[in-house]
Structure 1
Amino acid sequence: MTGPAEDAWLGVDLGTQGVRVVVVTSGGRLLGEGSSPLTSHRDGDRHEQDPEEWWRAVCAAIGQARAAGAELRGVRGVAVDATSGTITLLDRSGACVTPALMYDDGRASAETEQVNAAGTDQWAKAGYRRMQRSWGLPKLRWLLTRFPRAAEDGWRLAHQNDVVNRRLVGHETPTDTSNALKTGADAADVTWPEEVLAALGVPRAVLPDLVLPGTVIGRVCAQAADETGLPEGTAVIAGMTDGCAAQLGSGATALGSWNSVLGTTLVLKGVTEELVHDPHGVVYSHRSPTGRWLPGGASSVGAGLVAREFAAADLSRLTREAAALLPTDLLRYPLVSPGERFPFVAPDARGFASREPVGEAESFAALLQGTAYIERLCFDYLDMLGAPTDGAVVLTGGATRNPVWNQLRADVLRRPVTLPRHAQPALGMAVLAASTHGSLDRAAATMVRLDRTIEPRDSVADQHQDGYLRLTELLARRGWLPHPVAAHARERTAS
């Protein structure tokens, strides 16, 4: 239990299925954590939540952390992350007047074409070139078409964490450039591209002001203090998307470092000095609180196939048997769902294997290996774009529970990989809050505890290099992987 003199920081992660909070000291001691579920409503392309649930779940999760022993008297600041691209509209009083359109709601197809036609130069400047239908700006256009009097009635756009921040401080707050990136915000200039938005019929009056993540945007008001137990006057700090929060929670904040998250799918995020421009629109970049850039992308390969294909298997036994078969000459491109997003865009991509597996263990081994090969291809693609890729690599996500997979990824990447303790987006927000009393790198270094480092094995390097190049060739032959990317992978492998 912390005393009054010990600074602590509260991080809130607004997910899809629930809210998670952690209370952590400046020295990295976990004082308590809590969670509370959320309910979603899906129907085809429609995916909505009741945004009023978010505040109730935040209060319940903080209450759970207090019940677990977290003393909130020492909390100096709170920061909140959100699922990227989730938006709603608020009225003048701050009440939600529409359901929340969630991160993967796909109903704004027509609006996406309008957005991309109107903002061609702006989106190229931002580095990602084109918006997708799940992004915030197409969804905002979709909402404004259905509520044409929104601006006249004083309604405002709110991202998921904006709703919670407003309840925390009791008045309107600016939004952060991380969550606003997919709503069209110019993160480099911290401005809205008003000319583009005007052409799209998006009034400036419906848009909140913009600030960089890590900016103090208010203080916990009396009502919020009564509902949460947080001290009145506690600083509320502008947050980030959940993906960026996970990166901070991994400790990968230094220039050139990378966080590779392997869960259902694979997400890679790093730190660069300059904005990465991608002519293929595969990689997009958030702005770091330090002024640097956080480029990354999300692949459609990952551990989601494990649950689908090996649900009835004894995974411990299967892992032991697979370890004896690695490296395997069976090549798999292990797509979790049709279509690829990173390290290449191919809507028609489908998973495949180079031949039929000889038994369940070989199929499992090839799944692990194929995912690692695509992870390496992601790094080669980023290197081709000019991003520094020689810094530390931190592994997080559910797949890190498999030690054979961790070693395989180090072997394939030909570099050490590190696993942190307690890595999660909520911890990343606690780190962000603490950075207001120092620096982001210092806060991450003291608050994120490393578990272990895994070194690559030279004994398997040649076999993996051969298998990796064979897989890239198969992807190129199918017309999915651009030939310049495949050529760069070959050159980098030979160097």
Structure 2
Amino acid sequence: MSQAPLSPAPVVVGIDVATAAVRVVCVDAGGRVAAEARAGLPAPSRGPGGACEQDAGAWWPATAAALRRATGALPHGGREVVAVAVSATSGTLVPTGADGAPLGPALMYDDRRAAELNSRAQQAGSARWRKLGLTVGPTAALGRLAWCVRAYGASAVRHVLHTPDLLGWHLTGGPVAADWSHALKSGYDPRAGGWATEAFDALDVPSALLPEVAAPGTASGTVCRPAARETGLPEGCSVRLGMTDGCAGQLATGAVSPGQFVGVLGTTYVLKGVARELPADPTGAVYSHRHPDGWWLPGGASNTGGEALAATDPARLPHLDAAAAERGPASCVTYPLRRDGERFPFVSGEARGFLLGSPADDADLHRADLEGVAFLERLALERMSALGVPASGPLYAAGGGSRSALWNRIRATVLDRPLRVVERAESAFGAALLAASGTLHADLTTAAATMTAGTGHEVLPALAEQAALNASYTRFRGEMESRGWL
């Protein structure tokens, strides 16, 4: 008697639309990546007044192409996909007509053309922004939304869509809700659960233009037949709301429960955590996204980080790491800020890098720079604790800097807590976790715990070096206090 063929093991799909490319990952319930693919995007074009644009018409063809390659590599050709979610850059917008077709290019996340409109929005909604702990800066999407109405006309602009909103339209065949992560910089108040109407009234933006907003991970529709033909996704599979690339990257580390934090050491240093209550930072150094489960995701981005080593020949870094590891704690103290001004964990336009003492050699200076970034990380966690959000357990570590074993050991020692170095802190993987929430797993916490379990490795503090590093940190912090930055 012949046996019936086994049903394919279900997978979810995470899509990340970055500036240069679309990336797709197909992940099973245990977190194994079953297939992945990418497709390039045209480079953004820059213009006068800080304008930065990209052809929004390229997003769907690139996404469909990457999906076809990924689903085609699955054992059952994509039939096993049960859900999909999209992550993208925060604040990128495109105006469309009633049919969802772009009226012009997308205005990118760093486009500054609406700086004056954002200033007016900041003033009009100042009481709201203060409660939310948010500042409407020159590149906020709120002002660009109003700019689109002015540039194309209120009668022509029927929607202003974030990147995932446009892709959701293609996937489902109709408009979808915006997630509250992508909507944050467009003027949505996740604390109050509504749009900042006073700011939009001040900018003459029709309320009908503002979309429905829902939590990340919410089911927003199903894949329609045309999208299924173009992508290899099965018709009828669930389309779930995603989050911004930074938030999705945090989820991918597994840091999704209150008290958990991740330190991302790339060109700059970024700290992100989970809090039960919204922390209000009067200085503006820390701002918060809303967690899919209703908690908060406070964080901030420094102006230093891996950039501290930018002047060093990459080929020399392994040699310098080895020499610095053998030497031990540095004889001098640095704040390796290579530009003017700091934005996190404190805000100061007067901040400048400094060097206390004279390094014995290049290895000593290299070690001091690594320690300086670790000191900034400790200062950041202390700032979070002062706001009522203490970190618990190991610090999750991601970014290019976390590939340095020496740097990880220094960070663990300075922080006096283990570092859990994660392997796939990728936005597409984080989007897959959101797709798995409510489909492969009961909720996001379960999805993250299951799908990131057993990945990465732990780095413990070097107890023999703690006294010296604590003394250097005291000098580091004292110098900042004496300069009036803290």
Query: How would you bin the TM-score normalised by the shorter chain?
Result: over 0.9
Conserved 8 A contact 1:212-1:289 = yes
Summarize deviations over 1:149-205 as a string: whole Å, max 9, x none.
23x224211112111111111111110110111111111233112233212212112
User: Corresponding residue for 1:122?
Assistant: 128
User: Corresponding residue for 2:398?
Assistant: 396
User: Corresponding residue for 2:93?
Assistant: 87
Conserved 8 A contact 2:16-2:22 = yes
Aligned equivalents of 1:469, 1:41: Cα separation in 2: 46
Aligned equivalents of 2:337, 2:298: Cα separation in 1: 22
User: Corresponding residue for 1:487?
Assistant: none
Conserved 8 A contact 1:3-1:74 = no
One-letter identity of the residue aligned with 1:321: A
Contiguous gaps of at least 5 residues in structure 1: 483-495
CA RMSD of superposed structures (Å):
1.8
Secondary structure, in 3 states, of the residue corresponding to 1:165?
helix
Aligned equivalents of 1:181, 1:410: Cα separation in 2: 33
Secondary structure, in 3 states, of the residue corresponding to 1:367?
helix
Aligned equivalents of 2:161, 2:194: Cα separation in 1: 16
1:220-299 pair list within 5 angstroms: 220-299=223-302
Aligned residues between the structures: 476
Conserved 8 A contact 1:118-1:200 = no
User: Corresponding residue for 1:485?
Assistant: none
TM-score by length of 1: 0.92
User: By how many angstroms is 1:56 displaced?
Assistant: 1.9
Secondary structure, in 3 states, of the residue corresponding to 1:415?
coil
CA gap of 1:432–1:414, structure 2 versus 1, over 3 A, is same
From 58, 69, 84, the equivalent of 1:78 is 84
Aligned equivalents of 1:349, 1:143: Cα separation in 2: 36
Aligned equivalents of 1:467, 1:324: Cα separation in 2: 18
One-letter identity of the residue aligned with 1:40: P
CA gap of 1:85–1:155, structure 2 versus 1, over 3 A, is same
1:440-451 pair list within 5 angstroms: 440-449=444-453, 450-451=455-456
Summarize deviations over 1:213-240 as a string: whole Å, max 9, x none.
1111111111111111101111111111
Conserved 8 A contact 2:148-2:157 = no
From 108, 113, 122, the equivalent of 2:119 is 113
Secondary structure, in 3 states, of the residue corresponding to 2:156?
coil
Summarize deviations over 1:319-353 as a string: whole Å, max 9, x none.
11122233213222222543211101123323232
Conserved 8 A contact 2:11-2:80 = yes
Summarize deviations over 1:263-300 as a string: whole Å, max 9, x none.
11111111111111111111111111111111111111
One-letter identity of the residue aligned with 2:375: Y
CA gap of 1:345–1:401, structure 2 versus 1, over 3 A, is same
User: Corresponding residue for 1:491?
Assistant: none
CA gap of 1:405–1:317, structure 2 versus 1, over 3 A, is same
1:265-344 pair list within 5 angstroms: 265-306=268-309, 308-311=310-313, 313-344=315-346
Summarize deviations over 1:46-105 as a string: whole Å, max 9, x none.
222111222122122223324544642111110101111111211111111132221222
Summarize deviations over 1:9-34 as a string: whole Å, max 9, x none.
10011112221111000111110111
1:96-495 pair list within 5 angstroms: 96-128=102-134, 130-147=135-152, 149-150=153-154, 152-306=155-309, 308-311=310-313, 313-437=315-439, 438-449=442-453, 450-479=455-484, 481-482=485-486
User: By how many angstroms is 1:423 displaced?
Assistant: 2.5
What is the percent sequence identity of the aligned residues? 41
One-letter identity of the residue aligned with 1:142: W
Aligned equivalents of 1:63, 1:264: Cα separation in 2: 33
User: Corresponding residue for 1:492?
Assistant: none
Contiguous gaps of at least 5 residues in structure 2: none
Conserved 8 A contact 1:216-1:236 = yes
Secondary structure, in 3 states, of the residue corresponding to 1:72?
coil
Aligned equivalents of 1:91, 1:426: Cα separation in 2: 29
Aligned equivalents of 1:317, 1:144: Cα separation in 2: 56
Aligned equivalents of 2:321, 2:258: Cα separation in 1: 35
